[in-house]
A and B are shown apart, each in its own frame.
Chain A
């Protein structure tokens, strides 16, 4: 299982890349492996305001339907439209071309969003195994 040091994580197995006031989100390698073949991704509309803890999308695998939660308040400024054609990108490149949504956020809120470091997330997945 791959975990990347430059990313932050949630207990729901999402990753975030914070770049100034832009937060790119996806699901982790652990999550895509547990979900197995992803067949459909429900993306939010650009311009949607998402409150911290709200559902931002749905990820459907052959096995399950799982909701994607935003750990941070922000406005949807971009969505990965290539997932409409190739949802399996989340399986094959969860941290790269499998990104799901970009939010414009207040960087000051990142610290209060209780995100996990690589190390803390690894511990979480070890427990889950």
Chain B
């Protein structure tokens, strides 16, 4: 590790608890702790896991021009993005989208939180605060808007898994009120304790937090934002409260395998500097109802106009845990063993298995009792043209060939969207 690597407030805790550390986005982060990545992955699916995600960057955008700036730069249409009725973004709700460059390539993906009138917080990936801030400032000419990189002021902890609300409820004031009317992709509270319309959230000792019903594992849970200097105290409380539920601290390896099984892209790997189209994430673009066009103009849109010209990204799942490590020597082969593309992500979701043509999860209520869960490899391939769902392709790495199936979804019985009432 070099000395210029950044560290989160939890760095010392990770080291003193046996974490294997690695570089991620310029930060020295835990890859896994003593339990290992497999148990951490399984823990999130069956109980919960606690992740240090303080390396992620936060950018504040405030002012009368904030809405117009985001409408121009962010792919989601903030005037029509909430629920099936496509209502406008309101305080207490957040949405997923991407920032594009002029050729339609992804600068980064992001969640945009609406904190209040003319006030938004953008959460982007590790190390991306500066670049996204600069991009926004570049497009903010003449608009009344303040753009501020808050990354180093904030800590962030994700509590992910079916018991997440039970753990968090022991640590916050008035949990019944907080959890009431808290759908997926909503939040309450503020990391600096500023008053917010959706209501405040405080830890039992009075520490203000922003509690967001989001995450990146495909499982039910929260992302918690608070002041950087308060991160360690909350982490220790979560670890302590989680013991009753057999909850584990989890590193980035399990985060990667969980998100792959949930068909979620990793920015700069599954989405990147190529046109953001023909992928499993059309919900990040502002399509109109019949998908014939976009509901708003936005920066980079022109380059997405002709989808047939671009490669296609699709999810796959294998037949056993074996995987390939994506790289230059790894290719996707069709039936005739002709190279047709590359592998973007390949990870093993340890919580799933195949049985008679169907995939079950350890969380599937109807899983066969004698089914052994050894895991299946899964991820994303990018190919020259669209493959049919169910099509079998080979991933070739040197002499090894792995058979995988093109799919729409991977890990079943995920809990992310489950109603709060069922989880408390």
Contacts and interface: CB of A to CB of B under 8 A. Distances in A.
Interface string A42-82: 10000000000001001010111100000000000000000
Nearest to B20: A36
Contact of A39 (B32, B39, B253, B348): B348
A65 B321 contact: no
Given A36-B32, A39-B350, A40-B320, A64 B38 contact: no
A67 to B, nearest CB: 9
Contacts, number: 49
A85 B372 CA distance: 9
B257 A62 contact: yes
A36 B348 CA distance: 13
Contacts of B374: 39-40
B419 interface: no
A118 interface: no
The residue in B32, B322, B324, B399 that gathers the most chain A C-beta atoms within 10 A of its C-beta is B322
5 contacts: A36-B38, A39-B38, A39-B348, A62-B37, A62-B253
Interface in A8-45: 36-37, 39-40, 42
Interface of B: 20, 31-32, 36-39, 41, 253, 257, 320-325, 348, 350, 372, 374-375, 397, 399-400
A92 B38 CA distance: 14
Contacts of A39: 38, 321, 348, 350, 374-375
A36 B400 contact: no
Contacts of B348: 39, 60, 62
A58 to B, nearest CB: 7
Contacts of B39: 37
A37 B350 CA distance: 10
Given A62-B257, A65-B324, 12 more contacts: A36-B32, A36-B38, A37-B350, A40-B320, A42-B322, A55-B399, A60-B323, A63-B31, A63-B37, A65-B323, A65-B400, A85-B372
